Amino acid sequence: MRKPTLADRLTWQCASLLLSYPDEHRLGTAAELLAHLSSPAAQQFSHTMTAIRAAGPLRAAQDYVATFDLRRRCTLYLTYWTAGDTRNRGAAMLAFAAAYRAAGVPPPAGEAPDHLPVALEFAATVDPVAGRRLLAGHRVPIEVLHTALCDMSSPYAPTVAAVLTTLPTPSTADLQRAQRLAAEGPPAEAVGLAPFTLTVPPRRASRGAI
């Protein structure tokens, strides 16, 4: 796996801001980052940002919740697609938390560690190598998210597409798995999860990343 570049890190940071709950501070910071990005990533992010700002604060917030909180296929929680409602999800969540601790930062207090904006900010600002490894290891869930957003013509789809360009090219098996998950849903198992107690998607205690 190649070493992350500065362009990768700028892409991850901008995507983290745009995929977080929308507010003017995040949009302003993303706009500043865009000045340092070249096409096509800059165009993809500009599409998302223009749509969010055109909607206005109230409508943008409503659209965000309707997209990411109320649609399972659009969840930003990456382990939902790899582990679903199974006992394995707790271990999958712990893997994210362990990666953060190994890099010298605590897991986020107000958000699940597998939340895509959290993982993106970690990759951008803390440990690009470990962060890219986490993202690449969950490329299939990101592909499922991208497909779901494209299917609903969401303005967030180009931002997720920009993230995918920073990751290794998917194999045929990866693409087939993404298609299968999109059609059939994640693994399911009627057991309790430990150490986390989650709904699907998990309840959001706050909107911030790391």
Q: State pLDDT tens for residues 162-203.
A: 999 999 887 777 677 767 776 666 665 433 333 333 333 444
| 3 state SS of 58 | helix
Range of the structural domain that residue 167 is part of: 6-184
Q: What is the mean pLDDT of residues 148-173?
A: 92
- CA 75, CA 191: separation in Å to the nearest integer? 21
Identify residue 112 by its one-letter amino acid code: A
- CA 188, CA 89: separation in Å to the nearest integer? 10
Indicate whether 180 belongs to any domain.
yes
Q: Residue 86 has which token pair?
A: 């199974």
Indicate whether 88 belongs to any domain.
yes
What sign does the dihedral 209-120-21-187 (CA atoms) show?
negative
Q: Which residues contact 28 (CB under 8 A, 6 or more apart)?
A: none
Indicate whether 198 belongs to any domain.
no
The total number of structural domains in the chain stands at 1
By percentage, how much of the chain surpasses pLDDT 70? 82
Indicate whether 53 belongs to any domain.
yes
Indicate whether 95 belongs to any domain.
yes
| 3 state SS of 113 | coil
Indicate whether 151 belongs to any domain.
yes
Q: What is the mean pLDDT of residues 19-25?
A: 95
Q: Which residues contact 193 (CB under 8 A, 6 or more apart)?
A: 85, 87, 89, 90
